[in-house]
Amino acid sequence: MKQRIACLGLIAMIASACAGTRNPSRAHPASPPSSGELFARGKQLAARGDALRGEQYLLMAVRAGYPEDRVIVPLVRACIASARLRAALAHAQPYLQRRPEAWQLRYLTAAIHLALGQSAEALAELRRLLAQRPSATHAHYLMGIALRDGLGDPVAARASFEAYLRGAPRGSRAPEVLAWLAEQPIPQSATEAAGAAPRADAMP
């Protein structure tokens, strides 16, 4: 008899607890995170190496009203970190159509095209970027890579690499560029120009 009463008491306790969780008047649901909190969480996850979840949180931040112009570059970088290059392009390209002056995003887009083997597309993006910001040294470097490795045009690549060196003579890529240039033959037009120039010690 005592055991039965104890069992009934336990069932009553469980039922009461379950009823309490179903009662809206007793529930205290947590408020949803703000767009700023979602953005901060997305950046934090991406920085920790969880790029896929970081991308999801950054997308939720935009949908919750966080400014897209502050999210787009971290979002594309998160996609790159998770090797989702086509997803990165899917985010970047519509934004660039609306905001063609977003040169940092355009640089990332060019780098993605280059990584996908789309050298012509990368070159087109870099030309648009340099038309806006001719002093963007890393764009000159990336253009040299696209011309040399993607399109097989070492002469044009030389001009881009030289433009990079003019803007960043001590840049992080300068040793690599200088070593490559030192191994390349001087273009024929430059050789002919040097041969046609009068010598300083020549007789009049």
List the chain domain ranges: 34-99, 119-186
> Quick one: pLDDT at residue 184?
87
First to last CA, the chain: 131
- Residue 109: Cβ-neighbour burial (10 angstroms; 0-12, 13-18, 19+): buried
Q: Tell me the whole-structure pTM to 2 decimals.
A: 0.74
> Quick one: pLDDT at residue 116?
96
Top-level class of domain 119-186: mainly alpha
Under DSSP, the state recorded for 185 is: P
> Quick one: pLDDT at residue 29?
57
Separation CA 133–CA 130 (nearest Å): 5
Question: What's the one-letter identity of residue 111?
Answer: A
Instruction: Please report, in tens digits, the pLDDT of each residue of the chain (204 residues total).
Output: 444 433 334 333 333 333 333 444 444 557 889 999 999 999 999 999 999 999 999 999 999 999 999 999 999 999 999 999 999 999 999 999 999 999 999 999 999 999 999 999 999 999 999 999 999 999 999 999 999 999 999 999 999 999 999 999 999 999 999 999 999 887 665 444 444 444 434 333
Show the tokens assigned to 203: 């007789």
> Quick one: pLDDT at residue 133?
95
Residue 135's closest CA among 163, 155, 100, 158?
163
